[in-house]
């Protein structure tokens, strides 16, 4: 059995696709994940064959003269690791933490494949394009992809964890409405409070249940707000069983990470996307636009949100549920279950063609 290395790390947006790839290819390859210490927070070590190679995170207070030294050390660790494992190929799910691994793979003449979950090519993937065989992405019009590398692009359907495909959606009664507030693997402080007053007003006219993902530091404050105002709730931090929570919800308020959006669509949950305004190259905006253009949800820039915005939005678009039902119907035609095998057949054929 040939061996395969999946390089990932950083945030859940990079790690979740790596886990999906692992779960599929473990039956066909001897697979191992390499990740930095941040990425390990999103990997259940008992379920995955994973090794850590620390890649320093560049910060403003990081000594600019020491940082290259740490990168060189990381590159040498990657080189020795890959030489020992001797994989047939390396698949990178993006992020700067994959750069040393890919450069080491190039030196060792290991085939390199890239995955880009966003609708704007990341800067690390942009740097590594010249070394890779192919890059997998969700759209032909991948923004910022240089035309000279367009022949390397392979378009696939969005990658979704298999438990989301198996999860059955739970329907609410006409008297109840369940809202999910989710900021992704890094949570989102602004989403914690931006609509609390509006939610309180809405709770006076309809029975609301709020499923709210937040950080550990803000958990008690959010929980107390809902309890003090008699709003049914489940406040949680990063959850492995997120699919079960999502399946209970009628609507989501969310940042626009690629994995989160594709999982919401797979469960047929319409959403209001509020992209993180400082995401690199505004990639979260384009992630959301990809689905909003298909009429799956709504999109609003954070700086355009005003007082009572969500209350008005709810009364105009959601209260009678007809617009939601229309979006659910549109999502039903965007098939994920059939694309699971189709996606990986395309990817696997690409591995052997190059």
Give CA 247 to chain center in angstroms: 17
With contact defined as beta carbons under 8 Å apart, do 1 and 31 qualify?
no
Q: Do domains 3-160+337-353 and 164-332 have the same CATH topology?
A: yes
Give CATH for domain 164-332.
3.40.50.2000
- The sheet with strand 232-236 has its strands ordered as 232-236, 207-213, 176-182, 251-254, 271-273, 297-299
Identify the pLDDT of residue 230: 96
Determine the pLDDT at residue 322.
86
Position 339 scores a pLDDT of 73
Spans of all domains in the chain = 3-160+337-353, 164-332
What HEC string does the chain produce? CCEEEEECCCCHHHHHHHHHHHHHHCCCCEEEEEECCCHHHHCCCCCCCEEECCCCCCCCCCCCCCHHHHHHHHHHHHHHHHHHHCCCEEEECCCHHHHHHHHHHHHCCCEEEEECCCCECCHHHHHHHHHCCEEEECCCCCECCCHHHHHHEEECCCCCCHHHHHCCCCCCCCCEEEEEEECCCCCCHHHHHCCHHHHHHHHCCCEEEEEEECCHHHHHHHHHHHHHCCCEEEEECCCCCHHHHHCCCCEEEECCCHHHHHHHHHCCCCEEECCCCCCHHHHHHHHHHHHHCCCCEEECCHHHCCCCHHHHHHHHHCCCCHHHHHHHHHHHCCCCHHHHHHHHHHHHHHHHHC
Instruction: Look at domain 3-160+337-353 and name its CATH class.
Output: alpha beta
Ranges in the chain, pLDDT < 50: 61
The model's pTM: 0.90
Q: What is the Cα–Cα distance from 235 to 214, expressed in whole angstroms?
A: 7
Q: What is the pLDDT of residue 273?
A: 96
């Amino acid at each position: 059995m040939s061996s395969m290395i999946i390089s990932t790390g950083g945030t859940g947006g990079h790690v979740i696709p790596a886990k999906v790839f692992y779960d599929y290819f473990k039956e066909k390859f001897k697979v191992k994940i390499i990740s930095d210490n941040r990425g390990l927070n999103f990997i259940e070590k008992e379920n995955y064959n994973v090794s850590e190679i620390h890649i320093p995170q560049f910060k403003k207070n990081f000594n600019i003269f020491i940082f290259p030294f740490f990168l060189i050390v990381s590159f040498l660790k990657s080189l020795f690791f890959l030489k020992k494992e001797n994989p047939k190929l390396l698949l990178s799910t993006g992020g700067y933490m994959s750069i040393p691994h890919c450069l080491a793979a190039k030196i060792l003449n290991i085939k390199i494949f890239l995955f880009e979950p966003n609708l704007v090519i990341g800067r690390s993937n942009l740097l590594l394009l010249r070394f890779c065989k192919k890059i997998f992405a969700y759209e032909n019009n991948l923004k910022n992809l240089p035309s000279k590398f367009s022949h390397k692009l392979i378009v696939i359907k969005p990658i979704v964890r298999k438990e989301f495909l198996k999860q059955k959606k739970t329907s609410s009664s006409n008297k109840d409405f369940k809202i999910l507030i989710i900021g992704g693997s890094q949570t989102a402080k602004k989403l914690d409070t931006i609509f609390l007053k509006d939610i309180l007003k809405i709770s006076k006219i309809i029975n609301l249940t709020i499923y709210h993902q937040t950080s550990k530091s803000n958990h008690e404050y959010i929980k107390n707000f809902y309890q003090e105002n008699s709003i049914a709730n489940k406040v949680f931090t990063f959850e492995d069983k997120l699919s079960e929570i999502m399946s209970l919800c009628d609507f989501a308020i969310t940042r626009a990470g690629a994995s989160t959006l594709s999982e919401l669509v797979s469960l047929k949950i319409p959403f209001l996307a509020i992209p993180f305004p400082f995401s690199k190259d505004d990639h979260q905006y384009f992630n959301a636009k990809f689905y909003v253009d298909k009429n799956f949800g709504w999109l609003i820039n954070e700086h355009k949100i005003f007082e009572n915005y969500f209350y008005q939005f709810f009364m105009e678009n959601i209260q009678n549920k007809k617009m939601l039902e229309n979006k659910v119907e549109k999502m039903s035609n965007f098939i994920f279950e059939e694309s699971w095998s189709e996606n990986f057949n395309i990817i696997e054929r690409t591995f052997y063609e190059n």
